[in-house]
Structure 1
Amino acid sequence: MKPVLLLALLAATAVSLQAVTPDGKKKLVLIAGKPSHPPGMHEFRAGTMLLEKCLKSVPNLVVDRHEMGWVTDEKTFDDADAVVIYADGGGKHPAVVDGHLETLRKLTAKGVGFGCMHYGVEVVAGQAGKEFQEWIGGYYENAYSCNPIWDASYTSLPEHPITSGVQPFTTKDEWYIHMRFRPAFGHGVASAEDGAAKFVPILVAPPSDATRDGPYVAPKGPYPHIQAEKGSPETMMWSIERADGGRGFGFTGGHFHANWGNDNVRKAVLNALLWVTKVDVPEKGVESTVTPEELTQNMDPKAAPKPKNAGMETPRVFQRVAQR
């Protein structure tokens, strides 16, 4: 091969690994899932709209937001630097249906960042468990992980771009615990390496004994292996720098829409969105405000089902669905 042609091919490859928009900005593709759960829970559309609004002032960043679980045209991935999904997961996770897993496989192989939030960190092990361990470091595995609603107190934060400007905080959320991390990352509560991959836990807190005893949202538990770790810390948000050059993160909070009004929750996630896209995080993190009025806007048109027997206790099955 002629030297000039070889150099041209190498240059083209370098461009494909470091995608930018035509105006030279980095691009985040932010995907909101389909409506689910009663009002105020899993408000993926309203939540991503708030995050998009808070990122508008960030220079060198384009946010391409989509709804209903996937992008309207996959050509938008051509110049994407990161893809983040905030949606329901499990067997019908947007990442695994309709050939999307292969699309994401090609993107991450190029070094495109990937992140998932709340239920979006859960996949079926046989469908995409290995892929999620590779792309974001770990995932929620049914019956191994669990999903209690509890007050997590983050009293100590690591030095990382995602924690820039974030102060210790406490919030009540459906904070998932006991993720299925890569074996090399252990329980995920300490920084670790797996070859060229580097893992850093971001939000770590010890659940109370009562939290480990349950009930969990679904199934209600308790699980003996969760109870056996009483007193141990758990990781609810984490980051990974992958061997392919891309970045990934997981965030298990985000069940209750009202928590986007918490400055520290919001800042940690906004910082993560920049970091996974390889946009420099400001020294004090992404500054933003969300008013109580804004928290009521753009909610999905859904209503909680009414119990069949008025005046009687809400059936347990509804309670579980409402929370999950």
Structure 2
Amino acid sequence: MTRFRLSGLAALILAASAATVAAAEPTKIVLLAGRPSHGPGQHEFNAGCKLLAKCLAGVPGVEPVVVAGGWPKDESVFDGAKALIFFMDGGGNHPAIQGDHLAKLQKLADKGVGLGFMHYAVEVPKGEPGAKFQDWIGGYYETGFSTNPHWKAAIESLPEHAITRGVQPFGVVDEWYYNIRFRPEMKGVTPILVAKPDDATRDTPRTSPAGPYKHIQEAKGRPEVLAWAVERPDGGRGFGFTGGHAHVNWGDPNFRKLALNAIVWTAGMDVPSEGVASSVSAEELKANLDPKGK
């Protein structure tokens, strides 16, 4: 009888110790930076991911990991990750849709892993890639339907959501995408950033492919969703953020805080009441830029 009681006590102690260790395990967030793209200060995926990782490292319980060069050569980096954040070139060459990558991401999503895509990374071809993105994050940039002018988005108000905690209204010039191909009736999609492009922005030919697009012009005066979030039936979370073309914008505290909040939220964590606190110096903003010339 005594032996049984001691064994039972030992089992309880071991179980309690295991629970303590499990509770202490950090939340692993993998940020995937694409290959060099565009001119200096634009599409600075490596520098952007490392800057965000530096900020995330200051959040208690977060373990940020940066993967450079797009899809990782060693996929074991995904093991134990609570969220994958993609900041890279998209379209037909999007690393997330090459080979069997969609299927691998689906398996991770089925386990509740959060998925976030920023700027060009929200663009994939329509068909299976687009449908997957609608499932995972609620929508995607569709060539010929969505548009990508450079303009100053004035964020005049923000909804009540964990991602917007501590974020104040702001306005920055970026290549803000809009007219995103969302799920039908935007089912389950929560708009996070909304701004109203002026008529000149809708009429500009300076888009890729070149505009203006008739259906975009016909929607003059309509507010557009620039960032959004979803909570998936599998328990995971997803977000899309169309800003990030201009690296200098990470220096804007509200622009940066919103992205950091979104990353933490997507990993299933509680966002601090005042949002993720961070500071970025001018030197840090210039660090890790890709060698692109002048």
TM > 0.5 = yes
Match of 1:313 in 2: none
Residues matched between the structures, number: 274
TM (normalized to structure 1)? 0.82
Q: In the aligned structure 1, how far is the partner of 2:264 from the partner of 2:206? A: 32
Asked if structure 1 preserves the Cα contact closer than 8 Å seen for 2:154 and 2:170, the reply is yes
* Cα offsets for 1:101-151 (capped at 9, x unmatched): 111011011111001000000001124000000000000000000000000
Displacement of 1:210 after TM fit? 0.5
Pick the aligned partner of 2:264 from 274, 282, 290. 274
Is 1:145 matched up with 2:146? yes
Q: In the aligned structure 2, how far is the partner of 1:128 from the partner of 1:21? A: 35
Is 1:71 matched up with 2:72? yes
Asked if structure 2 preserves the Cα contact closer than 8 Å seen for 1:157 and 1:202, the reply is yes
* Cα offsets for 1:181-224 (capped at 9, x unmatched): 00131xxxxxxxx4xxx321000011001100012331220000
Q: How do residues 279-318 of structure 1 correspond to structure 2 at under 5 angstroms?
A: 279-303=269-293
Pick the aligned partner of 2:254 from 252, 260, 264. 264
Q: State the SS of the aligned residue for 1:58.
A: coil
Displacement of 1:229 after TM fit? 0.3
Match of 2:29 in 1: 28
Displacement of 1:23 after TM fit? 4.9
Comparing 23-32 and 126-135, the one that deviates more:
23-32
Displacement of 1:176 after TM fit? 0.3
Q: State the SS of the aligned residue for 1:101.
A: helix
Displacement of 1:72 after TM fit? 3.5
Q: In the aligned structure 1, how far is the partner of 2:279 from the partner of 2:266? A: 22
Q: State the SS of the aligned residue for 2:271.
A: coil
Q: In the aligned structure 2, how far is the partner of 1:212 from the partner of 1:226? A: 6
Q: How do residues 27-176 of structure 1 correspond to structure 2 at under 5 angstroms?
A: 27-176=28-177
Match of 1:15 in 2: none
Match of 2:221 in 1: 231
Asked if structure 2 preserves the Cα contact closer than 8 Å seen for 1:52 and 1:63, the reply is yes
Moved >2 Å (runs of 4+): 20-23
| Residues 21, 292 of structure 1: alpha-carbon distance in 2 compared, 3 angstrom cutoff | farther
What RMSD, in angstroms, separates the aligned Cα atoms of the two structures?
1.4
| Residues 65, 23 of structure 1: alpha-carbon distance in 2 compared, 3 angstrom cutoff | farther
Displacement of 1:303 after TM fit? 2.7
Asked if structure 2 preserves the Cα contact closer than 8 Å seen for 1:154 and 1:169, the reply is yes
* Cα offsets for 1:25-66 (capped at 9, x unmatched): 211111000001010000000000100011111111111110
Asked if structure 1 preserves the Cα contact closer than 8 Å seen for 2:265 and 2:271, the reply is yes
Asked if structure 2 preserves the Cα contact closer than 8 Å seen for 1:258 and 1:295, the reply is yes
Match of 1:245 in 2: 235
Displacement of 1:71 after TM fit? 2.2
Match of 1:182 in 2: 183
Q: State the SS of the aligned residue for 1:255.
A: coil
Q: In the aligned structure 1, how far is the partner of 2:264 from the partner of 2:135? A: 20
Asked if structure 2 preserves the Cα contact closer than 8 Å seen for 1:163 and 1:202, the reply is yes
Q: State the SS of the aligned residue for 1:259.
A: helix
Asked if structure 2 preserves the Cα contact closer than 8 Å seen for 1:150 and 1:172, the reply is yes
Displacement of 1:21 after TM fit? 7.8
| Residues 75, 148 of structure 1: alpha-carbon distance in 2 compared, 3 angstrom cutoff | same
Structure 1 residues without counterparts, runs of 5 or longer: 1-19, 186-193, 305-324
Q: State the SS of the aligned residue for 2:97.
A: coil
TM (normalized to structure 2)? 0.90
Identify the structure with the greater helix proportion: 2
Q: In the aligned structure 2, how far is the partner of 1:127 from the partner of 1:35? A: 27
Letter of the 1:236 partner, please give it: L
Q: In the aligned structure 1, how far is the partner of 2:101 from the partner of 2:206? A: 30
Q: State the SS of the aligned residue for 1:148.
A: coil
Asked if structure 2 preserves the Cα contact closer than 8 Å seen for 1:201 and 1:239, the reply is yes
Displacement of 1:244 after TM fit? 1.0
Letter of the 2:289 partner, please give it: M
* Cα offsets for 1:141-166 (capped at 9, x unmatched): 00000000000000010000100000
Q: State the SS of the aligned residue for 1:211.
A: helix
Match of 2:6 in 1: none
Letter of the 2:245 partner, please give it: H
Q: State the SS of the aligned residue for 2:191.
A: strand
Displacement of 1:90 after TM fit? 0.2
Identity of aligned residues (%): 56
Structure 2 residues without counterparts, runs of 5 or longer: 1-20
Q: In the aligned structure 2, how far is the partner of 1:208 from the partner of 1:29? A: 36
